[in-house]
Structure 1
């Protein structure tokens, strides 16, 4: 089975479509969506409907902090720009789509794989995995061999040996990485809709479960079209400008 790992779509239709097309061409036969389908971008309804359609075909999906914010309303302490995006996004979705966002689980386990948006140790608190300390804490919180996380918008891979030795590295796109089961692995594919590592190309990854090989991918897409939609929607211009810079 080739499982596509897709996260932080952020209502970016152009990026999502490019990634789904790429994953299909790479032979993906199952999909896992790791949250944050909405927020920042101008196509929340299309993205939510697309994810719902994939779930009907057997995809896995968990919820992210932006999904929860749109479904439940902005918090009183939220920054003005973030509040504006959440309120605008909420108005773009119908009750069926909002019900879907409200019903998303925080995590999902499938065999020896854990799917979660932020981390395994406190999924509802949305704490970021900034480095090895948080990664090890997350791996210690689950017996699963593989943990797949979103939330961080940069691709990263962490591992933990049976003796407690931890390691991490930034993957090279297109280069398969052996992920044997004698270690625990924490996979952060990076963001589809808003990468933040200086490269505007969309991020995602595919794990070949039978071969125990993981490959990260970068997919160019029409980020100018996505940015233009954000501007025309009246959303904060900075959200459009950052797409071209990958930040």
Structure 2
């Protein structure tokens, strides 16, 4: 089984469509969307409907903190994110809201745990950015492989025999063998708003048969996505950062 792992789409239709076109060439048997379908970008309706269609076709879809925020007023967000969320609430329809509100926080399948943020108190949206963060996440689950997003920065952590973690940055196009005798924590990166200095959309394919994780980057029309953000009257930084992957 080959599973395409997408996360942090953030209402970026151009990035999502380019990524799905790339996924279609990877011979995957399943798609998993690890949350944050909306927020920041100017196409929350289109992106939600695309993911709804994926879910109807068997994709696993989780809830992210921005998806949760659609139905909540007491969210802790910076000014730009909050402005985008207020606007997003105004354009989503009832069916979109029900879909986002009904998504699960986690999904466990065998020795795999899918989650938007860390496994430790997932509804509090902990970031997994350092080896210590990964250790805490590992401590909350016995899954051999934990798959998440949330940070917008691809990373991979392995748990050592002494219970400490070693982390490194995976390189797009270079499959990473996931040794079966170790536990792994993969942070997939962001489809719609990368923050690692690379503008291209990030996603990965998990090949369970081969025991490898394949990171991918997909160029997309980020000027068009940025123009839509500006046309919607959303904060300019949400548009300008797409060109720099920051």
With normalisation by structure 2, the TM-score equals 0.97
* In 2: Cα distance, 1:83 partner to 1:132 partner: 30
What SS class does the counterpart of residue 135 from structure 2 fall into?
helix
* In 1: Cα distance, 2:218 partner to 2:80 partner: 28
- Report the equivalent of 2:66: 66
Q: Identify if the C-alpha distance between structure 1 residues 78 and 217 changes in structure 2 by more than 3 Å, giving closer, same or farther.
A: closer
- Report the equivalent of 1:118: 117
Q: CA deviation at 1:59?
A: 0.8
- Report the equivalent of 1:155: 154
Structure 1 stretches lacking a partner, 5+ long: none
Matches within 5 A, 1:44-55: 44-55=44-55
- Do the aligned residues in 2 keep the contact of 1:230 with 1:237 (CA within 8 Å)? yes
Q: CA deviation at 1:203?
A: 0.3
- Report the equivalent of 2:26: 26
Stretch moving more, 82-91 or 160-169: 160-169
* In 1: Cα distance, 2:194 partner to 2:77 partner: 22
* In 2: Cα distance, 1:173 partner to 1:78 partner: 30
Q: Identify if the C-alpha distance between structure 1 residues 71 and 162 changes in structure 2 by more than 3 Å, giving closer, same or farther.
A: same
Matched, 1:242 2:227: no
* In 2: Cα distance, 1:28 partner to 1:232 partner: 36
Matches within 5 A, 1:130-145: 130-145=129-144
- Report the equivalent of 1:56: 56
- Deviation string for 1:171-199 (max 9, x for gaps)? 11111111122111111110000000111
Structure 2 stretches lacking a partner, 5+ long: none
What SS class does the counterpart of residue 25 from structure 1 fall into?
coil
